[in-house]
Structure 1
Amino acid sequence: MNDSIDSYSFGKIVIDGKKYTNDLIILPNRIKDNWWRKKGHKLLVDDISDDLDSNIDTLIIGTGAYGRMKVPKNTRTYIKSKDIKLIVKKSENACKAYNKIHDSGNVALAIHLTC
């Protein structure tokens, strides 16, 4: 189940015709909506570690329309230690990257929809 992103705009993403207005993670086998982070605009290891056991090859992180969500070095190091390729982009470009490669393996997208 690798869903295609139909559209993204500030605060909204449409995936296979379904609209979401909360941050989410697209995993190879499901969509985890209403994704919350402990520190809001800072992605901690605890915010993502449970979802990295889903046989993911590539994780794309959408940092928001303006890139406000930060991915600290220790979080990046943790993701890479799981042999997962990490791509970090502002959310619009993260959606484009996801659509480009989502059929090429076990790709996940963790996306902040607003700022």
Structure 2
Amino acid sequence: MKAFIEDYRFGNIVIQGKAYNSDVKIIDGVVKPNWWRKEGHRLYPEDIADILESGCKTLIVGTGAYGVMKVDPSVKQACSERGIKLEAYKTAEAVKRFNELIAQGEKVAGAFHLTC
């Protein structure tokens, strides 16, 4: 079976045959390209409001190639309140974990910062 996210390299991600060169979210298997955050290198609940309301069980956050994007504690709180397991990794590792959970049939959402 082909991986849902086929490739990730600094600034580029390939999802089901389509390349993206800006940050993306994946909700219910649908790619939401050109994802912008209130503050570029910090993640807040309002940046992922659609994910928080999606009914996912797990949220995988890719914090960038070098892990520069930080997850604000308020995101952890918002996920906890909704029963969403939050996992944050450098983006290459986040992609691997996202693919693992998709392959297991998990209801997972992803938010991936592609650069720093």
Question: What is the aligned partner in structure 2 of residue 25 from structure 1?
Answer: 25
RMSD: 1.2
Q: How does 1:63-82 map to 2 (within 5 A)?
A: 63-82=63-82
Matched, 1:113 2:96: no
**TM-score under structure 2 length normalisation:** 0.92
CA distance in structure 1 between the partners assigned to 2:39 and 2:66 by the alignment? 17
Aligned length: 113
The answer to whether the 8 Å contact 2:51/2:109 transfers is: no
**Greater fraction of residues in strand:** 2
Can you give the 5+ residue segments of structure 1 that lack an aligned partner in the other structure? none
Could you give the per-residue CA deviations for residues 37-86 of structure 1, whole angstroms, max 9, x where no partner exists? 01100001110123321121100000000000000111111111110011
Matched, 1:5 2:5: yes
Please state how far the C-alpha of 1:29 moved relative to its aligned partner: 4.1
CA distance in structure 2 between the partners assigned to 1:44 and 1:72 by the alignment? 6
Question: What is the aligned partner in structure 2 of residue 40 from structure 1?
Answer: 40
Can you give the 5+ residue segments of structure 2 that lack an aligned partner in the other structure? none
Partner letter of residue 97 of structure 2? A
CA distance in structure 2 between the partners assigned to 1:106 and 1:65 by the alignment? 25
CA distance in structure 1 between the partners assigned to 2:28 and 2:75 by the alignment? 21
Secondary structure of the residue aligned to 1:61 is strand
Question: What is the aligned partner in structure 1 of residue 91 from structure 2?
Answer: 91
Partner letter of residue 11 of structure 1? G
Please state how far the C-alpha of 1:13 moved relative to its aligned partner: 0.2
CA distance in structure 2 between the partners assigned to 1:76 and 1:70 by the alignment? 11
